[in-house]
């Protein structure tokens, strides 16, 4: 018996990490909305059957969307998306309710309530839970519950779902008319990380020592990168051959529908940074660089500060959170073996994008698309739980 495919909409879709994972869980994205044209082009390239609406969500008419989709009542299964998180981020210089980006969730809900899907998924950075002393999340609950949805939220850790990365996301799930508890995906991999943000203790899923031995081993940086061909710093590459056959289950997953390596290009490093990099061992950082070679700012830093800056990845560990720039000033983005920053494809693999998922636009736009994305394997795990809940209500 073929499992029934479900219909979803992806708002603030970016390059499509969320839709990529939801597709694996049995959802077909029928419409997506994205503000940035380069991100939208990447999404459309990888999801050709989805209708793409490029533009500001605040200008979208929900009634027009409903007519465009021509959906019967109760036919839409899921509205998903992640309103831009810069205003919520613990790293943002301003974190308050006056930031207009912190009100985009209202437009997300405006469209969702016109379409009234069976379930709604909102993802964001952990900082949203403490924004305005929790008032943003409370408002989201109030709006959803008033329309008949059961709502719960958790902070999920990507490493628990086979993603080789230290990444946390706040996940809000709402299911219409549900009386039972909301399901969140339980940890599948024995991976741990320290969550140093408000609400972590209460909202993060725990790994119980009694059951840890039953989980899969965590996916490491080398599990993600070891079969890719070596490249030079700053090189722009098109189609390339793999360096070796798939090394392990993760690479088999990545290469399932791909016979060539794409997007394996990286930013270049200046002569000064190349010299600094020679002093940094695997797992090392700016502390391993001779003092007189450090940037002036780091010469003034305490040894306890900037722990990830100028970091070289350890092959046996996880990567730090992939950001919109794989810049050594921002974190640990030096390749474990080669003297360069990681490529777009390597960043995409660390995010768990399959190799047949292509990124369009300039090199900087590609890095940004990857860094902003929801890890597909994490999205798949969430989507599988939402699918179960929808099927229970049928």
**Apex CA 160: angle with CA 155 and CA 164, to 5°?**
110
Query: 85, 204, 266, 326: which one is catalytic?
Result: 85
Write the DSSP symbol of residue 103. Answer: G
- Give the Å distances, CA to CA, from 94 to 98, 132, 261: 9, 12, 40
Counting beta carbons within 10 angstroms of the beta carbon of residue 132, is it exposed (0 to 12), middle (13 to 18) or buried (19 or more)?
Answer: middle
| Residue 56: closest CA among 99, 104, 88 | 104
Residue 204 appears among annotated catalytic residues: no
Cα four-point dihedral sign 355, 357, 361, 364: negative
- Looking at per-residue pLDDT, the higher value among 73 and 377 belongs to 377
Task: Give the three-class secondary structure for 344.
Answer: helix
pLDDT in tens, 79-134: 999 987 554 444 444 444 455 655 788 889 999 999 999 999 999 988 888 877 78
Task: Please give the domain boundaries of the chain with CATH numbers for all domains.
Answer: 6-211+375-393 (3.40.50.150)
**Torsions phi, psi of 33, nearest 5?**
-130, 135
Q: Tell me what pLDDT residue 127 has.
A: 83
pLDDT in tens, 318-361: 998 999 989 888 889 999 999 999 999 999 999 999 999 999 99
Distance (Å, whole) CA 224 – CA 238: 20
Q: Exposure string (b/e) for 171-192, b if CB count within 10 Å is 16 or more?
A: bbbbbbebeeebbbbebebbbb
pLDDT in tens, 178-188: 999 999 999 99
């Amino acid at each position: 018996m073929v499992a029934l495919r479900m219909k979803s909409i992806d708002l603030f879709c970016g390059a499509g990490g969320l839709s990529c994972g939801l597709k694996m869980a049995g959802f077909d994205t029928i419409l997506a909305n994205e503000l940035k044209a380069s991100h939208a082009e990447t999404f459309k390239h990888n999801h050709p059957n989805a209708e793409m609406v490029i533009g500001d969500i605040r200008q979208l008419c929900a009634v027009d969307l409903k007519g465009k989709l021509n959906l019967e009542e109760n036919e839409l299964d899921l509205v998903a998306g992640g309103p831009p998180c810069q205003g919520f981020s613990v790293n943002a210089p301003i974190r308050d309710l006056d930031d207009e980006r912190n009100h985009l969730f209202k437009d997300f809900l405006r469209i969702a309530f016109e379409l009234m899907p069976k379930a709604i998924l909102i993802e964001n950075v952990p900082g949203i839970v403490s924004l305005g002393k929790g008032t943003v999340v409370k408002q989201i609950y109030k709006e959803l519950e008033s329309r008949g949805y059961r709502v719960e939220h958790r902070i999920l850790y990507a490493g628990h779902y086979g993603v080789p990365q230290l990444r946390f996301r706040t996940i809000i799930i709402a299911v219409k008319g549900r009386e039972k508890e909301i399901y969140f995906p339980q940890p599948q991999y024995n991976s741990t990380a320290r969550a140093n943000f408000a609400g972590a203790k209460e909202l993060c899923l725990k790994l119980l020592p009694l059951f840890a031995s039953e989980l899969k081993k965590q996916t490491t940086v080398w599990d993600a990168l070891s079969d890719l061909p070596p490249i030079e710093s700053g090189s722009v590459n098109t189609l390339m051959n793999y360096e070796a056959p798939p090394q392990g289950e993760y690479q088999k997953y990545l290469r399932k529908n791909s016979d060539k390596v794409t997007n394996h290009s990286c930013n270049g490093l200046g002569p000064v940074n190349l010299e600094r990099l020679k002093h940094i061992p695997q797992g090392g950082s700016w502390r391993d660089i001779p003092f007189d070679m450090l940037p002036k700012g780091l010469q003034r830093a305490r040894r306890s500060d900037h722990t990830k800056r100028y970091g070289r990845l350890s092959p046996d560990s996880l990567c730090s959170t992939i950001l919109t720039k794989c810049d050594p000033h921002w974190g640990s983005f030096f390749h474990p073996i080669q003297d360069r920053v990681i490529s777009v494809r390597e960043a995409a693999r660390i995010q768990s994008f399959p190799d047949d998922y292509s990124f369009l636009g300039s090199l900087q736009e590609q890095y940004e698309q990857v860094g902003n994305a929801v890890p597909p394997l994490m999205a798949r795990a969430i989507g599988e739980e939402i699918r179960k809940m929808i099927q229970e209500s049928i």
